[in-house]
A and B are shown apart, each in its own frame.
Chain A
Amino acid sequence: MSKKHASVKALRVKRSVKDWLNLKKYWPLYVMMLPGMIFFITFKYIPMLGSVIAFQDYSVFKGIFGSTWVGLKHFRDLFSYAEFKRVFSNTLILGLLKTVLIFPIPLILSMMLNEIKNLRLKKAIQTSIYIPYFLSWVIVGGLIFDIFGSGGLFNNFRNALGMDTVLAMQKSSWFRPIYVISSIWKDSGWGTVVYLAAISGIDPALYESASMDGASRVQRMRHITLPLLLPTILTLFLLNIGSFLELGFDQVFNLLTPMTYSVGDIFDTYVYRVGIQKGQYSITTAVGLFQSVIGFILVMTFNKLANKFSEDGGLW
């Protein structure tokens, strides 16, 4: 290639990057993003660099620069942990349950709430159902132990039906159902907030004209509400799938007993025992990295799918 040709090509590349950035047209947008970018860099990206300690035998005394490098040792230890398969599959199963059973509930609840005509009743119900979100899992967990205890509602009910008492919190077969139901009970109400906000943006005229055409409530839900909620649903789904393997320590920890370890021990509780309680930051970070990488792969995959499914449906 001649020198002139090369420099023209380079100039063209440079110009197209500049065109692409299009500072002249978009400069206000860049300025708008600036505070947020600064925030993300200082509060997120810089500390994130510290994740290298997952590859070290980090000692707080020696700091990052003084600690020895051990490469993939912690990951090897994690994978060779005797109960790794169990922890992984428990986390996976609970994650699936969360996505399939728990995720749709706030959506369904919001659509149901949308059907209530009496505004006062609607407001009252909305406020009640989101209250459990504010109570910590310590409290709700304690309540659940009480309910499923020998003198609690659950067993009183069973006894009334002639069945014998079952201490459900000790039985591994009850753990997952209790996990799902308690999660729905506690957090779904709060999840309706976003959907209700989205629903409020739907033009009532659409509903009116549809009902004039003879559409039933169910049909209106299916053909108006649901499609218009789709972008919100997709966004929330993508946001949630990123933390697929991070189930939230609090809930499982407060529901777990040694007798249900076989189904309830997840990454978060494992890392609490082995990492956090002992101040072993390298292990904690390594497990966290592992969870994040899987979550990231999932988000990327589903984001692509979302983009195919609906124009611009993905996050990026």
Chain B
Amino acid sequence: MKWKQAIAGICTGAMLISSLSGCGNTTSAPEESAVSQSQSGAEAVTKEVAEEVVDLEIWVTNTGHLPVEKDSPMYNFYKDLIGVGIIHPYVEWNGGTTYLEQLNLRIAAGEMPDMFLPYGGLETSLIENGALLDLTDLLPEYAPNLWNLIPEDVWNAMRAKDPSGEGRIYIIPNINDYGRNGSMIRQDWLDNLGLSMPTTQEEYVEVLRAFKNDDPNGNGIQDELPTGGRAEARWMEQLFGMYGVAMWEGYPEWDIYDGELTYSAVTSNMRDALEWIASLYAEGLLDPETLLNDKPAWDAKIQSDRVGNWCHLPQESYIYAEAMEAATGVQPDIAILPTISAPGYEGTYYGRRVNSIGWAVKNTDDEAKIQAIMKVFNAYGDQSLWQTFNNGLEGMHSEMVDGQLVRLPEDKSTQQKLVLEPFNGVGTADFVIGLLEEQLSEEREWSVSDSIRNIKDLQQYVKFPAGDGIPSSIYNDYPDIQNRSLYVEYASKIIVGEFPIEKFDEFVEQWYATGGTEVTKAAREWYDMTQQNN
């Protein structure tokens, strides 16, 4: 009897569940526009309509926003703006791992999306298999906005990815045409202690000592952390930069050392930098938990008025400032610390121009689709549209305030994904500053204007390393070199003092022995090729 009941239950249940999937939309989207007429219906009525709207399936990073389904509000938004139907399914991002798996599964099933972000170096094998559309001639002709927006040398870096050596372009990069990360210091702490901005390494260390011992945050407790960073020795460029170690958010980069393109982690710059940083750690001038901090932990320390100097994005310094005020009542004055050079080296902050790969397009012969894709790219590159893209749908992503559209805070349960975010794909300081200026209200002047000033100040110190834009294909067959796991292990242990600095030489030897030699060779070959193309 249990049986029969169960079987009956299963049947009814299965019917119930399948009917559930057909149910209407119960997500609480604030604006539900009337279902747009089907395109064929509209066409039948108006014969003058040029083409039927082509639908494209687009995959991008989505950290939890609602998908864009056919005839949904954002679908119509893009359709009205560009004339193309954009469909974006929700694919979990999870740091890229889940996204990559999902993408691979779709490709295995023969259902590659029309336009997508080729995460994880996927583009290499896709190009080899002829799976991507050749954009070389299409872009200049049909998407001139985007073509002209991205500098020539960056396009050449993209050409270098063509394994056939013919220099065809198959992917569109994401670039940051400005310096994003820099070393920031508490100007108000310096003022409190009567110190001036340090200009030499010795002065810097003295400042750190003063931060630690002289109670600059004035609360009577010795809780100050003069400087620090995060796990895997990331976000510590304020220290590494003094030795000219090319690094981006903690990831060592390729630059010219001793006249040759070399991985910065195995240079004498890195050795001396690590030795110095280890001495700082031993003296207690670094947060002892530096190598354990994750982002929330480190952010929490900054926001509780405990950190004197850190590395991050000046364009976000106002967020930290405001959080600090909310938490402690203190209104910090955050300024850029001008580059300091360690003896014998040239201190630099590094930028990363070719940040990552932005777009790949599925190979197709469908002319209508190709035209639609080009339309999207052309709109993507049209800077006059960027504000519109950023503001999204009124009511969902932004609201009208004093006649101007202002962005609403992020709310994943109601907002659909802004599929096209060209301001992220092609980052410029001007656009970022423009957005910040929008946020400038009376009460926020103190924090936001600091950010704006800091962005401008930073640019003079920023350099792009020679290996900017190097393809991940140089790491083929050597995933652990790409993961830099050996570097992270040695660097962490040297900094906390578990390994003496002499172990660094062992690290360099092992790095070269386990694939570093081959990777360096491939990197230098790439570099020579780009030099030729230029």
Answer yes or no: do A and B interact.
yes
B510 touches A278 (CB 8 A): no
B-chain residues with CB within 8 Å of residue A63 when the two chains form the complex: 108
For window 119-136 of chain B, which residues contact chain A by CB distance below 8 Å?
A: 120-122, 125-126, 129, 131
For window 62-108 of chain B, which residues contact chain A by CB distance below 8 Å?
A: 96-97, 100-101, 103-105, 107-108
SS class of chain A's interface: helix, strand, loop or mixed? loop
Instruction: In the complex, identify which listed stretch (B154-162, B284-292, B407-415) lies at the interface while the others stay far away.
Output: B284-292
Given A59-B129, A61-B126, A258-B488, A278 contacting B479 (CB threshold 8 A): yes
| B148 at the A interface (CB under 8 A) | no
A-chain residues with CB within 8 Å of residue B97 when the two chains form the complex: 276-277
| B480 at the A interface (CB under 8 A) | yes
B289 touches A279 (CB 8 A): no
**CB nearest neighbor in B for A168:** B292
Q: How many A-B residue pairs have CB under 8 A?
A: 83
Q: Which of B105, B107, B492 contacts A257 (CB 8 A)?
A: B492
| A167 at the B interface (CB under 8 A) | yes
* CA distance in complex: A149, B287 (Å): 12
B-chain residues with CB within 8 Å of residue A170 when the two chains form the complex: 291-292, 492, 496, 498
B-chain residues with CB within 8 Å of residue A274 when the two chains form the complex: 479-480, 483
A-chain residues with CB within 8 Å of residue B498 when the two chains form the complex: 170, 259
For window 28-61 of chain B, which residues contact chain A by CB distance below 8 Å?
A: none
A167 touches B121 (CB 8 A): no
* CA distance in complex: A180, B28 (Å): 45
* CA distance in complex: A63, B129 (Å): 12
Q: Contact mask A251-273 → B, CB, 8 Å, 1/0?
A: 00000011101100000000001
A61, A145, A165, A262 — most chain B CB neighbours (10 Å): A61
Q: Which of A145, A169, A278, A281 contacts B120 (CB 8 A)?
A: A278
* CA distance in complex: A280, B479 (Å): 10
- Distance of A182 from chain B, by nearest CB (Å): 16
Given A278-B479, A279-B100, A149 contacting B129 (CB threshold 8 A): no
List 20 A-B pairs, Cβ < 8 Å.
Answer: A61-B125, A63-B108, A149-B289, A149-B292, A150-B289, A257-B492, A258-B231, A258-B291, A258-B492, A258-B493, A259-B489, A259-B498, A261-B485, A262-B489, A276-B97, A278-B120, A278-B121, A278-B479, A279-B104, A281-B104
Which A residues lie at the B interface, using CB under 8 A? 59-63, 81-82, 145, 149-150, 165, 167, 169-170, 257-259, 261-262, 273-274, 276-281
Known: A145-B292, A258-B291, A259-B492. 11 other contacts (CB 8 A): A62-B129, A82-B510, A169-B292, A170-B291, A170-B492, A257-B291, A257-B492, A258-B493, A273-B480, A277-B96, A279-B103
Which B residues lie at the A interface, using CB under 8 A? 96-97, 100-101, 103-105, 107-108, 120-122, 125-126, 129, 131, 231-232, 288-289, 291-292, 479-480, 482-483, 485, 488-489, 491-493, 496, 498, 510, 513-514
